[in-house]
């Protein structure tokens, strides 16, 4: 799939989510160490849910989305720094991963040039996801970036 899906707000298919009965959610501080914490949590949950085949791809996508959320959160001087939030859904059809951050600005996928050292995260997410996107959240204000994974 292409990165263009990240350019328009969209939500995961509710019917697909209905098939993912296993759920977890985690609120994390927006720290540099947070992606590692999230990876450990995801690996643990997918093991418990007997979905280990989705671990590697889910962990990779989570690393990109959570790192982005943290980097964007860290750009601002907060009086009370907001967290990032992670929701994981799983079942036989696959996994859905949703990451909330307090930043209104949408993700801005771009075509990284050969010599660019950054700008590939969302392209990788789009390549590995069956579907991905973002949608704004009003309460609390911010947005959710998400990925649906159906291929281990
Ligand atoms: N959660 C987010 N909130 C706001 N802007 C975002 C978010 N995620 C990504 N972006 C914007 O989209 C751009 C592209 O993100 P992408 O992850 O593809 O590349 P990168 O983070 O710049 O570099 P890389 O992931 O390759 O280290 C970012 O530079 C940033 O401007
Ligand atoms: Mg990135």
pLDDT in tens, 36-85: 999 999 999 999 999 999 999 999 999 999 999 999 999 999 999 999 99
Say if residue 117's pLDDT is above 50: yes
Question: For 151, phi and psi rounded to 5 degrees?
Answer: -115, 120
> Quick one: 67 exposed, middle or buried, by C-beta within 10 A (0-12, 13-18, 19+)?
middle
Q: Domain ranges in the chain?
A: 3-76+83-149
Decide: 131 in ligand 1 pocket, CB within 6 A.
Answer: no
pTM score, two decimals? 0.96
The CATH number that domain 3-76+83-149 falls under is 3.30.565.10
Decide: 92 in ligand 1 pocket, CB within 6 A.
Answer: no
Query: Please, what is the angle between helix 34-48 and helix 55-73, to 10°?
Result: 150
State which ligand 1 atom lies nearest to the alpha carbon of 69: 1
Say if residue 2's pLDDT is above 50: no
- CA-to-CA distance for 133 and 129, rounded, in angstroms? 10
Decide: 119 in ligand 1 pocket, CB within 6 A.
Answer: yes
- CA-to-CA distance for 147 and 95, rounded, in angstroms? 8
User: Best substitution site from 65, 108, 113 to test ligand 1's pocket, by max atoms within 8 Å of Cβ?
Assistant: 108
């Amino acid at each position: 799939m292409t990165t263009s899906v990240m350019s328009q707000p969209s939500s995961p298919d509710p019917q697909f989510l209905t098939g993912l009965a296993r759920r977890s959610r985690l609120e994390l501080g927006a720290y540099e160490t947070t992606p590692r914490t999230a990876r450990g949590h995801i690996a643990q949950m997918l093991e418990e849910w007997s979905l280990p085949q989705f671990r590697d791809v889910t962990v990779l996508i989570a690393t990109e989305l959570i790192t982005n959320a943290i980097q964007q959160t860290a750009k601002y001087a907060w009086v009370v720094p907001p967290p990032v939030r992670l929701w994981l859904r799983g079942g036989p059809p696959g996994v859905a991963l949703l990451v909330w951050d307090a930043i209104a600005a949408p993700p801005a996928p771009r075509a990284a040039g050969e010599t660019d050292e950054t700008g590939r995260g969302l392209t990788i997410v789009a390549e590995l996801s069956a579907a991905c996107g973002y949608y704004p959240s009003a309460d609390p204000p911010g947005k959710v970036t998400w990925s649906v994974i159906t291929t281990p």
